[in-house]
Structure 1
Amino acid sequence: MKTEASDTSFGLRELLAFYADAGVEEALCEEAVDRFSEGPAARERPAGPHGSAARGAPSPPPAPAPAPAARSERAAAPAIAPAASVPDEAQAARARELARQAATLDELRSILEGFDGCNLKLTAKNLVFADGNPQADLMLVGEAPGRDEDLQGLPFVGRSGQLLDRMLAAIGRDRTSAYISNVIPWRPPGNRDPSPIETEICRPFIERHIELVRPKVLVTLGNPSTKLLLRTTTGIMRMRGKWAEHETAGGEKIATLPSLHPAYLLRNPAHKKLAWRDFLAVKARLEP
């Protein structure tokens, strides 16, 4: 009859044989080693005979520092990337103050180019400010740029932009008789949804943008821009096609019609008929 001790020794032999067959030839310490506290010299110890650092071996002395090169031979210091800011209410308040200072669209664009309070700017290739005619009586506002918009620095130039151009052409308009922008002027990485605080930081700029353009009719494209500019929690499917008003900081009220975003229409072509009705309403409102 086998004893418990013999069963244990048999199990240990089998386990050691398994590790040997797997190529494990060196035992580890009883306690985990904190490599982060060892320092660079300890982490760079020469490898032992089995490819791992020799344990218990003294660390080699640090190599002497090279003599400083002459000023003319020194390599140029690498450019320091701008530090990310903490997106919070302080940055939103700063955005509101800067937006109020813009007296023209050129000044607003310049302020946005120098603004560092929104981290979306750090990952975007270009500022996507606007496109079209700022003197037009029709302004359309979407949510945020996509990949094509980020590359070209213009809003609505990808597939959804091509559809928007056809929608405008259907009511006798194009980018010379309409003005187009977005709530968010920088592309979110990976086309993710902007966070609430990112949207709040960008809100003062698009509101000032609309105030400076002073369109006769404002069209909000999609759920995010509709909720933001009309300060509502009602979804776009209930809001679309119903006239509302966007009130500027100066108290001016602009007739606003929520409609469906072209990107949504590309995914749901059956709803193009709803957008067609919305754009016909816009055409009727703008006719003399």
Structure 2
Amino acid sequence: MGVSVDTVLVDALLKSAPKPKSPEPPKDEAAVVPIRKASRTVTDWAKVARAEAKTAQTLDALADAIRAFDGSPLKAGCEQAVVFDGVAGASLMVIGEGPGAEEDRRGLPFVGKAGQLLDKMLAAIGRTRTGNVFISNVNYWRPGGNRNPEPDELAVCRPFVDRMIELAKPKLIIAAGGVPATSLLASKDGIMKLRGNEYAYATPDGFKAPIIPILHPAYLLRRPQDKSRAWRDLMLIEKRLAELGG
């Protein structure tokens, strides 16, 4: 099936995107590396998360459970949990790494400069977060200093991630960046090897959907010379959504 993307328009949008500034170091490092409220292990907190996620029968109920969850060591240093945005039940679900400063402030995923570029990338294949995309992350609380989330921080969120996929029922999932791609696929390969390919994914309760990893928009802001890879990935996503009836 043939697909088309207006590469001239997309190139212009990418060139016009503002370049990210180097993050400022946190003023109080102790404030962004808090300790959990209770002395449970990662395994204990993951069990709590599984139990709470399983009881959620709607996305709103799941969001409430995530906000009330105390198992992430990041929670005390954040303004709020950043859970999801977009249209529940959309055929396309985008899963990113986790919130940055702007996302933590506003309580929505992908609303900073990288999120603005993501919106333009999705628009190139006829998708918007207000119309036909559902957006979330593999981690719901902002890590200090713009670092990647640690394995234990991802582990305690994972039951909620799986349950969110089950409740959202997407036909196709985009893993935006290396952290969500390697986390969801349990892969040791880097994003450059994973991107542009389709992988089978299944939650513990058996919901299945294909995943296509892409380069994170923040990476493209730093390295616009890799935009041709991103557009090829978007063409694949558009093609597969058409084939899946999405």
Q: Shorter-chain TM-score: what band?
A: 0.7 to 0.9
Q: What pairs with 1:83-94 in structure 2 (closer than 5 Å)?
A: 84-86=37-39, 88-94=42-48
Report the count of equivalent residues.
208
Q: Determine which of 172, 177, 180 is the counterpart of 2:126.
A: 172
Distance in structure 1 (CA, Å) of the matches to 2:96 and 2:197 = 17
Identity %: 46
- Structure number with higher relative contact order (C-alpha < 8 Å, ≥ 6 residues apart): 2
User: Which residue of structure 2 aligns with residue 103 of structure 1?
Assistant: 57
Distance in structure 2 (CA, Å) of the matches to 1:270 and 1:232 = 26
Under a length normalisation based on structure 2, what TM-score does the superposition of the two structures give? 0.81
- For residue 154 of structure 1, give the secondary structure of its aligned residue in structure 2: coil
Distance in structure 1 (CA, Å) of the matches to 2:72 and 2:204 = 22
Regions of 4+ moved over 2 Å: 82-88
User: Which residue of structure 1 aligns with residue 101 of structure 2?
Assistant: 147
Asked if structure 1 preserves the Cα contact closer than 8 Å seen for 2:53 and 2:163, the reply is yes
User: Which residue of structure 2 aligns with residue 219 of structure 1?
Assistant: 174
Q: Runs of 5+ in structure 2 lacking a partner? A: 1-34
Q: Determine which of 104, 107, 120 is the counterpart of 2:74.
A: 120
Asked if structure 1 preserves the Cα contact closer than 8 Å seen for 2:42 and 2:155, the reply is no
Distance in structure 2 (CA, Å) of the matches to 1:279 and 1:224 = 19
Under a length normalisation based on structure 1, what TM-score does the superposition of the two structures give? 0.69
Superimposed CA distance per residue, residues 29-81 of structure 1 (whole angstroms, 9 cap, x where no aligned partner): xxxxxxxxxxxxxxxxxxxxxxxxxxxxxxxxxxxxxxxxxxxxxxxxxxxxx
- The amino acid across from 2:105 in the alignment is L
Q: Determine which of 214, 224, 228 is the counterpart of 1:269.
A: 224
- For residue 155 of structure 2, give the secondary structure of its aligned residue in structure 1: helix
Shift of 1:83: 6.4
Q: Does 1:251 align with 2:192?
A: no
Asked if structure 2 preserves the Cα contact closer than 8 Å seen for 1:128 and 1:186, the reply is yes
Q: What pairs with 1:183-202 in structure 2 (closer than 5 Å)?
A: 183-202=138-157
Q: Runs of 5+ in structure 1 lacking a partner? A: 1-81
User: Which residue of structure 2 aligns with residue 133 of structure 1?
Assistant: 87
Distance in structure 1 (CA, Å) of the matches to 2:36 and 2:45 = 14
Q: What pairs with 1:42-53 in structure 2 (closer than 5 Å)?
A: none
Distance in structure 2 (CA, Å) of the matches to 1:83 and 1:273 = 43
User: Which residue of structure 1 aligns with residue 184 of structure 2?
Assistant: 229
- The amino acid across from 1:84 in the alignment is K
Asked if structure 2 preserves the Cα contact closer than 8 Å seen for 1:245 and 1:255, the reply is yes
Superimposed CA distance per residue, residues 77-106 of structure 1 (whole angstroms, 9 cap, x where no aligned partner): xxxxx9633452211221122111211111
Distance in structure 2 (CA, Å) of the matches to 1:85 and 1:167 = 42
- The amino acid across from 2:104 in the alignment is D
User: Which residue of structure 2 aligns with residue 181 of structure 1?
Assistant: 136
- For residue 205 of structure 1, give the secondary structure of its aligned residue in structure 2: helix
Asked if structure 2 preserves the Cα contact closer than 8 Å seen for 1:85 and 1:119, the reply is no
Deviates more, 1:233-242 or 1:190-199: 190-199
- For residue 128 of structure 2, give the secondary structure of its aligned residue in structure 1: coil
- The amino acid across from 2:174 in the alignment is V
Shift of 1:131: 0.8
Deviates more, 1:156-165 or 1:250-259: 250-259
Asked if structure 1 preserves the Cα contact closer than 8 Å seen for 2:36 and 2:71, the reply is no
